[in-house]
Amino acid sequence: MVEFFLSERDGRKFALDGYIYNLEREYPTHSCWFCEKRHSKEDSCKARVVLNNGEVSIKVEHNHDADYFYVEKRILLNKLYKQAEISKDPPSKLINDAMVDATEACKAVLPSKEVMTANICRRRRMLLPERPTTSSDEPKERPIVGTYPKKAAHFFLSKRSRGKMALDGYIFNLEREYATYSNWYCENRHATPEKCRARAVLQDDEISVKVGHNHDSDQPSVEKRIVLSKLYKQAESSVEAPSNLIAEVLEGVSDEVKKSLPSKEVMAASISRKRRLAHKDDQKELDNTEIFDSELDLVNVINKLIKEEQP
């Protein structure tokens, strides 16, 4: 059965037999659609279909398998989020309604209810009219200017190994390091529509926040960022199995943060990807022709290097 739906950006889509198609062009008598994996980076699929009076004719076949549960999940989430924008029902009711007819297999691959609730709230917030930035009748309360002991902050590295500092539910980027102190700015400095001008100075064992934030703190999301950063940095420097790394890093993490994290499968896939990328860099120095496809390859290369080092 052909099921039409709209993408997040209101692009027209339809699902059929475990595949999803995007509208390419509409004619008075028929319409042309292409597989949504056409722009997939790994393996672009050239499948095309023509829709004529509800009849679908396949012009080019797919180069990948159908995935019914993935398609079901996409349509369910899509309907849920569209519904959230037009209804005023609480997220829990919307989610329950959306899941009524879902298959167990689909339910198993859905994000957690907390993640769906957070997405619903985010979408609804985005629909709210922007508040004027110079409203004088409503003074902003951000009592975040002041001093903190250095140990109140958590320091970690961004994906690109830049210095980051988590403090009181906010994240700062390292701007510049001097002999006796360092300057930090809120990572929302380049945020749209409203830049945050918060700044902090770290000197000796004290952090002074010089300019306060123009947005709320978000401790759970800061914690989540720290956990993921730890996990991925560790993945690059160790050869432990992803499942062990994940278990190690999740130790002592609060349930609230755990629930907001990506699924273990997604984290394991990210670890493997990061390792592949890291190996690509190493590899240039080792051998210009070798490509590592798996962790096993890396282990083999390391063993080879160890042997070469021995006289």
In the complex with Zn ion, which residue's Cβ is closer, 45 or 227? 45
Phi-psi region of 300 (alpha: psi -120 to 50; beta: other; left: phi over 0): alpha
Question: Is 227 a residue that touches Zn ion (CB under 5 A)?
Answer: no
- Binding range to Zn ion, per CB under 5 A, among 38-46, 91-99, 161-169, 218-226: 38-46
Which of 116, 186, 202, 227 touches Zn ion (CB under 5 A)? Answer: 186
Question: Is 196 a residue that touches Zn ion (CB under 5 A)?
Answer: yes
Question: Is 164 a residue that touches Zn ion (CB under 5 A)?
Answer: no
Which of 13, 14, 21, 35 touches Zn ion (CB under 5 A)? Answer: 35
Q: Which DSSP string do the residues of 113-145 spell out, in sequence order? A: HHHHHHHHHHHHHHHSPPPPTT-SSS-------
Give the nearest distance from C-beta 25 to Zn ion in angstroms.
Answer: 18
How far, in Å, CA of 247 to CA of 230, rounded? 12
Tokens 């349509």 map to which residue?
75
Site for Zn ion in 41-100 (CB under 5 A): 45, 47, 62
In the complex with Zn ion, which residue's Cβ is closer, 182 or 283? 182
Among residues 165, 151, 276, the alpha carbon closest in space to that of 225 is found at 165
What element of type H or E holds 50? strand 48-52
Give the nearest distance from C-beta 197 to Zn ion in angstroms.
Answer: 8
In the complex with Zn ion, which residue's Cβ is closer, 47 or 51? 47
How does 2-18 read in b/e, with b if 16+ C-beta sit within 10 Å? eeeeeeeeeeebbbbee
* Binding residue count for Zn ion, defined by CB under 5 A: 10
Count of CB atoms situated within 10 Å of the CB of 160: 5
In the complex with Zn ion, which residue's Cβ is closer, 13 or 279? 13
- Binding range to Zn ion, per CB under 5 A, among 76-84, 127-135, 210-218, 242-250: 210-218
Question: Is 37 a residue that touches Zn ion (CB under 5 A)?
Answer: yes
Contact 200, 236 (CB under 8 A): no
C-alpha of 303 from chain center: 35
Q: Which DSSP string do the residues of 8-46 spell out, in sequence order? A: TT--EEEEETTEEEEEEEE-SS-EEEEEGGGG-SSS---
Helix (H, G, I), strand (E, B) or coil at 108: helix
Which of 48, 73, 74, 213 touches Zn ion (CB under 5 A)? Answer: 213
Which of 94, 198, 202, 222 touches Zn ion (CB under 5 A)? Answer: 198
Contact 206, 148 (CB under 8 A): yes
- Binding range to Zn ion, per CB under 5 A, among 80-88, 114-122, 160-168, 187-195: 187-195
Question: Is 188 a residue that touches Zn ion (CB under 5 A)?
Answer: yes
Give the nearest distance from C-beta 93 to Zn ion in angstroms.
Answer: 34
- Binding range to Zn ion, per CB under 5 A, among 5-13, 185-193, 228-236, 297-305: 185-193
Question: Is 199 a residue that touches Zn ion (CB under 5 A)?
Answer: no
Rg (CA), the chain: 25
Question: Is 200 a residue that touches Zn ion (CB under 5 A)?
Answer: no
Q: Which residues here bind Zn ion, judged by CB under 5 A?
A: 35, 37, 45, 47, 62, 186, 188, 196, 198, 213
